[in-house]
Structure 1
């Protein structure tokens, strides 16, 4: 239930659009689960892959370090590609969770994390149409954020 509320609150305050959540357990960054996510007409969280919620719940129960990243694909056109297709703006938000403490990632931190080659550590140019945003505070049910 804590994971469901956390994911729902991440989406509720995001830019409007199509949302994709990625949950990564930092003890094992090779393991991550990505899912399309939405708030349905009843106001409930709907996930394409329920494994993302289960995995986040497991990580929270273990008090493992977690990365939660939200990509929100807007309806705003960033540019038109060489084939004449519109490329939409993608807003990126992130949070680190460890020991029950949730730390929102700033736009600058998200940019730094998103613009580094994971294999070499070298800087890479940002993906066209991606806007890194400051994340907002999230609270685990029954706990206060740090």
Structure 2
């Protein structure tokens, strides 16, 4: 498809503009107060002196630090609330795919268990056969010593 063809999109094409991020846009709109408060507090922090020289300045620093901490807490609480919808969706996706993988894993385990049992029987038979052949060969050549240890 050529660039010219891409530019011919018209009304009703149902495609968002290139580079659009509807989720980011919604979050910015819904939580503009957090962004505004962040900018306000960061501007206040920028205006603070490089050092604390007296008790009054120390109190102002403490107050600003509390306001910054409160904004962090509010933002984190808001983030967790916003994210829950997506986490719930993720759990639904996981559950949907587990209806495929869980029975398949169960069948695979059942097959492997039966396969392992058969392989053990074969190995035991080979060991018995090998010991019997070893004993027979020793008898043929006249040895009467004890059997080998395994």
TM-score (ref. length: structure 2): 0.19
TM-score (ref. length: structure 1): 0.19
Higher relative contact order (CA 8 A, sep 6+): 1
Higher strand share: 1
